[in-house]
Structure 1
Amino acid sequence: MTFTESSSRATTPCLRSVDVLASMLDRHGAIAWFVDGRTHEIVWTSGQASTLFGLRPGFFPFLAPPGDEVLRASLSALMQGAGPWTGDAWAVTTNGSRTFVRIAASLIAEDRCAAPYLLVTMTDISDLAEAREALYVLSDVDSIVWELDLATMRFTFVSRQAERILGYPIEAWLTDREFWHRHMHPEDRTWAPAYCENETKRLSAHEFVYRMIAADGRTVWLRDIVTVVVEGNVPRRLRGVMVDVTESKEAEIERDRLLTEEKATRAALEHARERAEEALRRRDEFLSAASHELRTPLTPLALQIQSLLRDVERGELRLGAAQRRKLDIADRQIERLSSLVTTMLGVSRALGENLGLAREPCDLREMIREVLEELDGERTRSGASITLLSDAPAIGVWDRNALQLVIGHLVRNAIKFGMGKPITLSLTTADGVAKLQVCDDGMGIAPEDHARIFEPYERTDAAKVYGGLGLGLHTARRIVEAHGGRIELRSAKGQGAEFTVTLPMVR
């Protein structure tokens, strides 16, 4: 025992009782001090207190702020007549470790004592401090810490977060044994308690997600993490944490809803695509059938018109100027219709899944000349001149009819949209590749339309005035690509157009 004389201490009869109390505190290993009530000087330190905190000078120097100041103020209040005081604070032991202590202070002086003494005791409650810190962390998030007595089926503890999350007073949790079950979402009221009961019987920690109805009618999703407290192989209590997962659960539900909508949209789009493909297939079938049917009467009709024109030329048939003009118009219209039917046949073939090229050695320059000869009537009527620039034959292994369809379409477009201005065709060969360029100085094509006009049934706004199926360039591209080549466009609105077809000569 260490008992230090205070300068203010007097020898009085009451000191004997203080000595007895000090001896008793030491014998029981108490952490205790006697403090002079007037000066706040420590006049006695128990052996256990000395071992833990030493005998450093000053007013409880081992207490971490503000614990020392709180204790000093409490001792002053005791001297003013206040009742016994308790409080908690952190302290540093002689080995440098931190411990959490509960402090109790009371006045022990008797009336006949000249120096009033104050008794200060401390109890190590570090475990409680850790629990408090854990509860503080949990209270900082959306979680409810709880404990349930299985014997009474009542909550014995519910953290303050419960009131903020669900809106019900803590007393309702603690007094109403049906509280949890009664405020659960009706759809979860059967399976959730049954699941928890089954896992508890198995003494198994468990985790599950369910819904509760808050005081304001909101649906709150909770993830309940439950531990079973077992004594003598019998479950006695349940302890757990209810974590508010409403935000993430609602986000998950919204995600699932959007995924479902996306799947439905995709299915609708797929169905629409299949219907569109079917409609296009039937249109292409009709195009093919119609072109074949139209060609049958056109051939003899064209022959009859040509025969009549020859009779007029030989003088075997006399017609007035008006009748001759009508016959010429009929001849041109039949020629135009015949050209359209030929185009339709080529298009219907090109739009098929298998183009089925009939390759053979042929001269691209000769094919160009044949096409220009066939289109000479159209060229003459447009007033345009066509120049073919080619120094030598361009022999390759190609499908003659298919490429003539490509050449015919490009030249016909140049005549149609060239506004009567000169048209130039350039044919060159180099490194096993033939390159054909068809250039005009007509209305041109805006850059934003370059890719679109190669798609089926697509035309520029200006082209719609001239009619047509909107399949020519798409067909040309398919044929060229089937030969391993490519077709490119360079043009601007009002600056003419230049189509370039590049074809490998052997493939």
Structure 2
Amino acid sequence: MHAKLQAIHKSIDQSLKNYYVDALTLAMTINDKGIPENFETVCQQILNSNPNIDAVQLVPDGIIQYTYPEKGNEAAKGIDILNNKKYRFEAMKAIETRKMYFAGPFELKQGGLGILGRVAIYKDNKFWGFSAIIIKLNTLIKKPEIEKMNTSKYHFLFSKINPVSKREDFFLNADEEFNPENTVSSIIPDGDWKLYLVDKNPNELLFTTVIRCVLALFLASLIGFLTYSFFKKPAELKILLRKQSDKLLKNEIKFKSIFDQAAVGITYVDSNTGKFSDVNKRFCQLIGYSSEELKSMDLKSITHPDDIEKSLLSLEKLYKDEIEEFSLEKRYISKSGKTIWVNITVSPLWKKGEKPTNHIVIIEDISKRKKADKIILASRKRIESLINTVDGIVWECDAKTLEFNFVSKKVEDILGYTSEEWINTPNFWVNHIFYKDKENALQYCVEQTNQLKNHDFEYRMVAKDGSVVWVRDIVNVITDNNEAKSLRGIIIDITKTKEIEKELNNSFNLVSEQNKRLLNFSYIVSHNLRSHTSNISSIVDLIETSESEEEKEEMIQLLKSVSDSLNETMLNLNEIVSIQTNVDIVTENLNLKQYLDNTLTLLADQIELKGINVVSSIDAAVEVNYNPAYLESILYNLISNAIRYSHQEKHPIITIDSYIENKKTVLQISDNGIGIDLNKNGHKIFGMYKKFSTHKDSKGIGLFITKNQIDAMGGSITVESEPNLGTTFKVYIS
């Protein structure tokens, strides 16, 4: 019974070692970044080479993510075995022992009892996850040693201590109770399983056996005593030799299985000659040569000429013990002359400090990936070429952080920055929005993005040379599961459009102002000339009906007065027309203080007569680019008005100053005179013949002319005033 059970044990143990090889082969698909490559291809080859396997899995971080075949195993995907009481204990056994551990048997999702073998995978001495093999229990125990067993005499049992309940569970037909004294057992440590072989008829030959046993015992004792001393040592050596042989055999089987069944090419290369000492089946298929042909060749003979130098350089570093291993992408020339792209990993097969003898090369075919990369690169270049022909900056950024991952090269033409400067600087876009537009632009963009709305808005950006560029930004919101993930758009330079728009607005405002002036002028002409002509007509009628010479003379004097008034009106209208139609106004750099002093000299008699105190703080260095006649007229009208409308009950003061505001020179003239009621007269203060006092010298023409002169020079004038407190005029000189 013991011999039969050991045969069963050995057969099952051999199957488990084969599964271990398959699990290691599956683990080799994981690249340096921890991502499986060619997963389905390798899995298919594993299942084809070992039909006893029902499914294979890769379990990164203890979570089932990769299963082959996927059909029928969907329910297992996503299970976190390290945080599941049902699976955790046996999964941890694989981590603790650092070898393959077989969990189960347990009910499979696809039905039936199954066993799951897991081997813990480590990358750079860090736990990556598991490589797992799924086998049905019936498949595992389908062994000739069990099937040919005499079931009338023996009963085979398969059990395991349940890691949760701590009770022994039997997984085969175990309805019959058995006496442990009538059984032999064996433990398989890779799964903590216990195998039983039960004697169904323990008392069948009891009497005969007893007699034979007594005789056998006597003879055995005698012979044993005699032979023990002669054969003790050789037997011990034989046992030890057998154990070592078994161990070597197991290792040889394991590595041979890996070598032959690997889904990647594996070769052993002589370190001195570079010749292949052994090659596996996959490498022969890849390169097209037979094993015998390759063993007569070396690495150089199949390496692409352009890649020989870098291969030899890496090998030299390996021989000098400067590096422990290396990986590189290179090209091989197959037997048919075809160029094959491969990724090779070269590791030494000698101990550190010893003279090198051999190294092992793992070869992975990456021709398809290289071809795909080439297509992707060509496609990317075409797309970038098309993008760079677009008359705008094409871009993409993260919807939450607004950090850009793509900016087209058109940015250099529009803003002067390179794509790299933009992409490599966090918050580049935010930091280069013109400060006056930043808050509104950011708020609008965030609001529209949160609402998952595509948007289109205008703002200004600061270019590399410091200039301000108007742009239009057309943005598409890219969503995933109803959440904004990224933004894509195009930034268009609209500076010229904005300048044209500004010019149009200026032209419109100018035309509107001219229309207003024209209407005002026509009203003045219509009203004032009609008044004069009406007076003349009435006086002529009176002259015709006059009865005495004295009366006629009186009417003639009155007619002369009206004529003089008409002449003065015509002169005023002529001056205004001259100002408004003067296109080419001559300007010069004028010293403002000098022109002020000239004006004060002209008005010195009036200033002295009224006892006015004039306070001027204008610096002698202030210069303005202005028309000389207009500057004289503006200073004269504003200062003479301040003198004319001084308050009789106050000591009159006129304050004159200049300063810079928004890059414009401001001339400020203030007085403490009678003031103006702006609530009542503010809308007509610069109108022609508009009077705001009963002063005898008031004609209502000075401020009108002053306003027209300032407008003609591209400036502006404002007034601040209160009755009995005074008036301040501010002239803005461009």
Same fold (TM over 0.5): no
TM range (shorter): 0.3 to 0.5
TM-score (normalizing by structure 2): 0.26
Relative CO higher for 1 or 2, CA cutoff 8 Å, sep ≥ 6? Answer: 1
